[in-house]
Amino acid sequence: MKIILPTDVATELEAHLPDDIVVVRVDSEGNLDGDATDAEVYFSWFFLKPTTLHRVLESAPQLRWHHAPNAGVNHIITPKYIERNLILTNGAGVHAIPIAEFVIAYMLSYAKQLSKLHQQQTQHRWQKGLPIQELLDKTLLIIGAGGIGQEIASRAKAFGMRIFGSRRHPQPLPNFDKVVGADEWKALLGECDYVVIATPLTWDTKGIIDAEVLRLMRKSAYLINIARGAIVDEFALVKALEDGEIAGAAIDTVFTEPLPAESPLWSLPNVFITPHCSGNSPRVNERSLALFLDNFTRYHQGQPLRNIVDQTVGY
């Protein structure tokens, strides 16, 4: 069997593959170091360029299975890709722990007024009386109660929060007080102190956080986006933040990345911007490779694969 591996991790992976596996390496530009016409498996790496993906697809007409390390695969599922009818698996779960920790950090930063306290420190000011809050008994809505959402819930529950979640097929989940369907979460917004966007970007979720949703939120509510920027109507968000329709936001993903220097989001005092880094951790690579190797063993032995993406819905 022949497989295509990214040059970034090929050496590390080859040590764990059976001796009869032939490896073709591909760099970040899509240049292959061998003949991939009969390759069955392609493992891409992070920050996959469309041009790289298309070069691999053209070079590997016999490809059957593609594993991507990303949880979000909206950049992969193009009309040209769908035509190939490949099995696509993703890295759902490998970023869940660092992202969940970041969400807790965003909430604590807001509740404990950490940015203002740090500002006072840099100004050598000893000023008491800031409106410091607790997370205990606050209500958190997680839009997208998948792997990441469930990791967020387990940590938030340890702080004594009430937790609502939404998912396409609602079902009771550990640490959630209520789980509703994908179209029912708007009715909960008036009860929520924190709203976290953890849903994949699909045609159904693009722009779902719009002016109407922001008006339904409490004026004291805090919005956190660790999913994809296009899920939020950025113009509506800026207006809501400027007009005080919501108290603030932590934004790890934006519509255009890097965030343009002229974006008003940079200068809004009630916004905490991070550069799409909530999933960063030295253990992500380790988990990504372990997931691929487990799935490759399954593929090699004809067993069901983990994390198969439904390309009709986008995750």
The CA-CA-CA angle for residues 74, 143, 213, to 5°, reads 100
Residue 65: closest CA among 314, 315, 302, 312: 302
Euclidean distance between CA atoms 159 and 154, whole angstroms: 9
Query: How far is C-alpha 29 from the chain's CA centre?
Result: 24
Specify which residues 67 forms β-bridges with: 43, 89
Q: Which of 25, 67, 167, 228 is catalytic?
A: 228
Euclidean distance between CA atoms 115 and 121, whole angstroms: 10
Residue type, 314: G
Helix, strand, coil percentages for the chain (3-state, nearest 5):
35, 15, 50
| Cβ burial 210-227 (10 Å sphere, 16+ → b, else e) | eeebbebbbeebbbbbbb
In the chain, what is the greatest distance between 2 CA atoms, to the nearest angstrom? 69
Q: Which of 14, 58, 257, 286 is catalytic?
A: 257
Q: Which of 54, 64, 218, 276 is catalytic?
A: 276
Q: What is the dihedral of CA 89, 94, 95, 98, to 10 degrees?
A: 170
Residue 114: helix, strand or coil by DSSP? helix
Q: What DSSP state is assigned to residue 199?
A: P
Euclidean distance between CA atoms 294 and 291, whole angstroms: 5
276 is catalytic: yes
155 is catalytic: no
Place of tokens 């789980």: 179
Euclidean distance between CA atoms 276 and 122, whole angstroms: 26
Specify which residues 180 forms β-bridges with: 166
State the catalytic residues. Answer: 228, 257, 276
